[in-house]
Structure 1
Amino acid sequence: METTEVTADLRTDQRLALLRKMILIRTFEEAILREYHADKSPGFDIGKGLIPGEMHLSAGQEPVAAGLCAHLETGDALTATHRPHHLAIAKGMDLRSLAGEIFGRESGLGHGRGGHMHLFDPATHFSCSGIVAEGFPAALGQAFAFQRAGTR
């Protein structure tokens, strides 16, 4: 088996692209968090507000998403867990469609029915689920489909 040397030598433009992606992810999630809490008081009521239900953010995980997705090709598929925003954004998901889904709008990826933990975007080959370990069957299905089509 051939091994390759891993090096941290990145060009300045690569470093800046990764930093910009991380800032975009953090900025998006901070905006979602502000809107999530904006109208849930007095007394926190999870069912109220512009974004009802739970909210699982990924603050601090931006470098993982940016670094991982920097190595993916456009046609590669990615399946995430219940904290998916950072990976979805790093994969190139349209921010308006993502926000629309989080806010439950018709303009969202699943027409506002999936919420923030059940995202599916055929354009970026991205999916996720709020169900523990549910990503494995979806990831395997994508792998088998790529294999069968001879595209990966």
Structure 2
Amino acid sequence: MGKRILVTGGSGFIGSHLTKKLFSLGEEVTVMVKYKSLIDNVRLSPIWDQIEVIEADLKNIDSLRQLNGRKFDHIYHMAAYNHVGDSFLHVNEALLANAVGTANLLEYVNDFEKFLYMSTSEVYGYQTSVPFQEDMIPPSFALLGRKVCR
């Protein structure tokens, strides 16, 4: 059997493609999907019965107890606030989903070899030039004269 892989946000657009690819490569795939998200899960319908599915919400630490004691070789953490364009309007909700959700995940799954955290272009803030580059500083930080550690 292949590596034990956890994909959070595995029924999302990118997550579902990653999940199907990992499965086709012979990996032992577990996906975490937000409970009651049946519409999104249709993306995984071809392999649904051949992968392990965990329904949980990363913001709800109680729902993550089912991960307690689990070991994964690799974790692809793709779950995130899914209204990227609204993340500046709903900052608290985005922080809960992204930052607190990630901390909650790491609280319950701490036995892994590699952890890949997908991020978002929103971390660069509003930029006037594209493509974004990793050394870009959000303009609001620059205007405030804040230093950003990289």
Q: Please indicate the TM-score interval, normalised by the length of the shorter structure.
A: under 0.3
| TM-score, normalisation: structure 2 | 0.23
Report the structure, 1 or 2, having the larger strand content.
2
